C-alpha cells in the first residue's frame, strides 16, 4: 500500500462519514518499505493538485518524515526538483507493509497485512447500516431516493 493511498481513505463506519476527525486516518505501528521507482516529474506534478495537503502533513509528521512544506507548493515552488523528488519518494515509493490505520473519530483500527488494509467492519458496526437500509427499502419503495419525481 503506497502512502498516497491514505489521502483517499476515510473511516468505513457510516456514522463517521460526516465527522471531520475521521480524516485522515492515523497510522499505528506502521512498518514501511521502500520500493524504488523511476522518478517522473510530470507524474508527481499531476498528482500534487489532487493531494489534500493538510492530511499529507499530518501523515508525514506521524510517520516521522519532517520535510513537508506548510502549504501546497504552487508556481515556482513546483520547479524545485529536490522537493518533487522527496514527494515522489514519500507518496509513491514508500509502502506500508504491516500496521494499523486508526479513525480519529470512533477509534476503530483497521489492520494492514502484507500491504493490504482490511476495511471490513465487525458485524456490530457494519450491520446497523445494512439492516436500516433494507428495512427502509422494503417498507416503502415509493420513498426510495432513486424514484423519479
Partner 1 sequence: MMKCDYCRGSHQGGEPKVSTNLTSTPFLGGHDWFVHRSFNRYLQYSFQLTNPLSHPTIYQFPDSFQSTKKERKQKTEIVTIKGTKMLPTPCTSHVSFDTIYEPSEDSYLFLDTLSSSSESAWLTNHFSPSTSSPSPLLLEVGTGSGVVLAFLTANSHHILGRTDVLALGTDVNRNACLATRQTVLKAIEEQQQQSQNTQSTSTDDSKPSQIKSLISSTLTSDLASPIRPHSIDILLFNPPYVPTPELPRLPSKEDNDAGDKEGGMSRSEKFERESYFLSLTYAGGKDGMEITERLLADIPRVLSQRGVAYVLLCAQNRPREVVERIMGWDGDLEGGKWCAELVGSSGVQAGWEKLVIVRVWREFTSASSS
DSSP 92-107: IIEEEEEEEEE-TTT-
Q: Would you count residue 8 as binding partner 1 (CB under 8 A)?
A: yes
Stretch that binds partner 1, among 8-16, 60-68, 70-78, 81-89 (CB under 8 A): 8-16
Pattern 31-70, binding to partner 1, x per CB under 8 A?
------x--x-xx-xxx-xx--------------------
- Chain length of the chain: 149
Candidates 32, 78, 106, 117: give the one binding partner 1 (CB under 8 A): 117
User: For residue 137, what is its C-alpha cell?
Assistant: 427499502
Among residues 131, 123, 125, which one has the least CA distance to residue 107?
125
Candidates 133, 135, 136, 141: give the one binding partner 1 (CB under 8 A): 133
Candidates 30, 84, 92, 100: give the one binding partner 1 (CB under 8 A): 92
Kindly tell me which of 66 and 114 has the beta carbon lying closer to partner 1. 114
125 phi/psi in degrees, rounded to 5: -95, -35
- The CA radius of gyration of the chain, in Å to the nearest whole number, is 19
Residues facing 31 on adjacent strands: 98
d(CA 102, CA 104): 6
Q: Where along the sequence are the contacts to partner 1 (CB under 8 A)?
A: 1-2, 4-5, 7-12, 17, 23, 37, 40, 42-43, 45-47, 49-50, 92, 110-111, 114-123, 126, 133, 137, 145-149
Amino acid at each position: 500500500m503506497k502512502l498516497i493511498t491514505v489521502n483517499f481513505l476515510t473511516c468505513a463506519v457510516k456514522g463517521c462519514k460526516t465527522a471531520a476527525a475521521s480524516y485522515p486516518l492515523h497510522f499505528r505501528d506502521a512498518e514501511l518499505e521502500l520500493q524504488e521507482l523511476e522518478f517522473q516529474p510530470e507524474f508527481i506534478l499531476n498528482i500534487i493538485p489532487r493531494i489534500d495537503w493538510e492530511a499529507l502533513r499530518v501523515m508525514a509528521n506521524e510517520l516521522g518524515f519532517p520535510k513537508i512544506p506548510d502549504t501546497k507548493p504552487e508556481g515556482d515552488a513546483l520547479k524545485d526538483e529536490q522537493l518533487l523528488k522527496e514527494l515522489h519518494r514519500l507518496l509513491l515509493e514508500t509502502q506500508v507493509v504491516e500496521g494499523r490505520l486508526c479513525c480519529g473519530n470512533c477509534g476503530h483500527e483497521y489492520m494492514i497485512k502484507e500491504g493490504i488494509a482490511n476495511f471490513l467492519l465487525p458485524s456490530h458496526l457494519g450491520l446497523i447500516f445494512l439492516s436500516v437500509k433494507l428495512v427502509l427499502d422494503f417498507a416503502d419503495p415509493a420513498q426510495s431516493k432513486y424514484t423519479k419525481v
